[in-house]
Chains A and B, each alone.
Chain A
Amino acid sequence: MEATVDKTGTDGKTWGGGNRPLNASYGKLMMWFFIVSDALTFSGFIAAYGFSRFKFIDAWPIADEVFTHVPFLHGVPAPMYYVAFMTLVLIFSSVTMVLAVDAGHRMQKKKVIWYMFFTIIGGAIFVGSQAWEWATFIKGDYGAIETKGGKILQFLDTDGKRASVTDFAIPITSERGTHEESNGIWYDAEPETQTTVSYAEVLKGFEASPDLLIRSQELVPNMEKLRASENPKDIAEVARLEREFINLDKEGEKAIYSREVGLAKLKADGKLVVQGANLKHNEYGHPLFANFFFFITGFHGFHVFSGVVINIIIFFNVIIGTYEKRKSYEMVEKVGLYWHFVDLVWVFVFTFFYLV
């Protein structure tokens, strides 16, 4: 008798591992495991975005005003179009991917190669577009003033359109010396980016152009309900709103200060000019919006990038005939699952950053 048995007599039967209730290969199941956990990661990020948005609902930027650019159409406000294009590119690359999987099932190597190629191109276009979107967002367009309390004041002209700080600011000539390491013990390097105009110049320009107004970061509440209330706190709130704002009939929109109140706020609380967005300042509204935008689209963009790299590897494997020899194109199916997942995440990012 030997000490170990190499056959249990149950091979192929249920208790010998012969039962495959999910009828999927090990590799595909593991990809699904990964996708579920990655989906939960993304949900965590997007739900955190929702949390911060609800917390600062007044100060949250209006997506339509943030993403209004299309390449080669400078100065033409076109909200949504470019991001709609990006969405279609990604969905289309998903289609070519699933066509590659389908061709793989039927062992058509040529077709798999071409469809994989188009998928990679689509992914590259998407990542490039995302980079362009970032660059535009970082650069900004109208500029705004940040107050000491960290709020954003945006400027409007008589038509209620946004006015650019660089257009109305009046230059003040001053000597701006550069502090150098050689002439100071306490030396701080200059910040890398300077705004094109200063707070004092914007204030001077605002004083000189009586048509300009300032938009606050408060949303106009339901005034009817508030006016009907007997609560002394609500009565005081109505009095304050009527004193400060001029567009109280537009429920749900950002409230606009009257000229006098706006000027007083700008003088008393204004601190610095913000142009564009980074992790600390954001001319469109609350800085957290920029943080989440960079983090979530960046994390998604990283997924797209790694998806493209993995697709390229599989693409070359298909070309050299690895899967032809293996007699199965299942590997294409597995990276396909990942690629569709990236598309799936984008569908949600698109909704929560650009639409809702």
Chain B
Amino acid sequence: MADSLLSLDPQAPASGAPIAIAVEDLSHWYGHGSMRRQVIDGLQFRVAAGEVVLLTGPSGCGKTTLLSLVGALRSVQQGQVQVLGQELNGSGRRTRQQLRRSIGMIFQGHNLLRCLSAEQNVQMGADLLPGFSYRARRDQAREWLRAVGLGDELHKLPHDLSGGQKQRVAIARALAARPRLLLADEPTAALDSRTGREVVELLQQLAREQGCAVLMVTHDPRILDLADRVLRMEDGRLVEPGSGQRLWSREHLADVPVQ
């Protein structure tokens, strides 16, 4: 299966690194009967380990649905989705729950637990790791918070943190579970452009250090140059980058000033 994908997929990663995500002929519908509406139509792409891939496109084109399918949050209706070597089509609830432990997720609305301090929120991620003592997991949580520059805010509740800080806590939480794949849905949407770029740079750097693949949905053109590749989606399909879309080429993006 993986071999055939390798030869067929036009959206192949440049390197020969192991494959984190392999999607083939993926289609998805919402609703039933006459209300049935296709949101994803024959998608095909792959993401290698250690690669940072941005997914962009207009609202309602199916990006978020794709993320929830790849993130094993939704069952696959048609096509193949292999995530970290696990086929998701026809997989059970338990398999998906187990797989999610290896997938870090960062949400638009950060989704921190309000009643937990920054440190405890991050530890909720670390707590999923087997075989570490409470103290070791807490120390890991503190290290991650220092890595995202929040070493002084360990005991603050989300309520007392700024939007950028909350998003950084969410990143630390996602990374604390040592994921092999990181999915992010517009992590910069709630942030000003400078903070947004800082957060994504941080994410990219930490993901590279961990050898973790990143698939990130974004509308923010200022961060596109941080990606290894950019996938553009329209109406449930992937659109060839560069075909009349010069904005999306890396060479061009390098010239876009960053505020």
A associates with B: no
